[in-house]
């Protein structure tokens, strides 16, 4: 049984924008924290050039297979390529930005 890595359908995504999906597991504290962090992060650093969808893996088990999500929460950036993933509650903003390729590694080292 192979699994696809196809991006979910995005509605109203513009050219060059960031397509993001946050997979969470139920309505736990962890999920809530991750959702809040993701929203804040997108607002601050992507400035409207993004589309963020949130999937509860319990409600959409099929998405687990297609998205290759093992851990929750997982933020997957389907566009721009390559597909990047950030696992965790997204509390470390610098690491998230590094993980999504929004900030280059040198920037990270400087900001630290």
Partner 1 sequence: MVTTQATVTKRSGATIESAVRRGELPKTPTGISGLDEVTRGGLPRGRPTLVCGPAGCGKTLLALEFLVRGITEFDEPGVMVAFEESAEDLIANVASLGFDLNQFTADGQLVIDHIKVDATGTKETGEWDLDGLFLRLGAAIDKVGAKRVVIDTIETLFGAFSNTAVLRFELRRLFGWLKDRGVTTVITGERGDGTLTRYGIEEYVSDCVIVLDHRVTEQTSTRRLRILKYRGSLHGTNEYPFLIAETGISVLPITSPALLHIVSTERVSTGVARLDAMLGDGGFYKGSTVLVSGTAGTGKSTLAAHFCDATCALGDRALYFAFEESEGEILRNMASVGIDLKQWVDAGLLRFQCTRPNLLGLEAHLFAMQKLVGEFDPAVVILDPVSDLLRIATEPNVAAMLTRQVDFLKARGVTGLFTSLNSDAQANQTDHQIASLVDTWLLIETAAGNGERNRTLSLLKSRGMAHSNQIREFLLTSHGVELTDVYVGPHGVLTGSAREAQEARERSDETVRLQDLEQLRGKLARRRESVEAQTATLWRELQDEADIVGRSVSQGSTGDENRASQRVEQGRLRQADADEPEGTAPVLDGNVRSS
Among 7, 46, 87, 102, binds partner 1 (CB under 8 A): 87
Min dist. Cβ of residue 42 to partner 1 (A): 15
Is the backbone peptide bond immediately before 91 cis, with ω within 30 degrees of 0? no
66 touches partner 1 (CB under 8 A): no
- Which CB, 14 or 70, lies closer to partner 1? 70
The tokens for 5 are 């890595």
Among 35, 78, 89, 103, binds partner 1 (CB under 8 A): 89
Tell whether residue 32 is a contact of partner 1 (CB under 8 A): no
Nearest 5°: the CA angle 45, 38, 63 is 125
* CA quadruple 41, 70, 107, 34: dihedral, nearest 10: 20
Contact indicator for 9, 64 with CB cutoff of 8 Å: no
Neighbours of 44 (CB within 10 A): 10
User: Nearest approach, Cβ of 102 to partner 1 (angstroms)?
Assistant: 12
* Chain residues that interact with partner 1, rule: CB under 8 A: 1-3, 23, 25-26, 30, 33, 57-58, 61, 64-65, 68-74, 82-92, 95-96, 98-99
């Amino acid at each position: 049984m192979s699994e696809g890595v196809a991006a979910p359908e995005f509605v109203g995504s513009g050219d060059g924008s960031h397509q993001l999906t946050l997979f969470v597991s139920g309505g736990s504290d962890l999920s809530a924290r991750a959702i809040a962090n993701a929203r804040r992060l997108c607002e601050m650093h992507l400035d409207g050039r993004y589309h963020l969808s949130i999937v509860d893996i319990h409600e959409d088990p099929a998405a687990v297979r297609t998205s290759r999500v093992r851990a929750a929460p997982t933020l997957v950036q389907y566009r721009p390529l390559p597909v990047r993933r950030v696992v965790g509650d997204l509390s470390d903003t610098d690491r998230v930005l590094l993980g999504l390729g929004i900030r280059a590694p040198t920037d990270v080292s400087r900001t630290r």
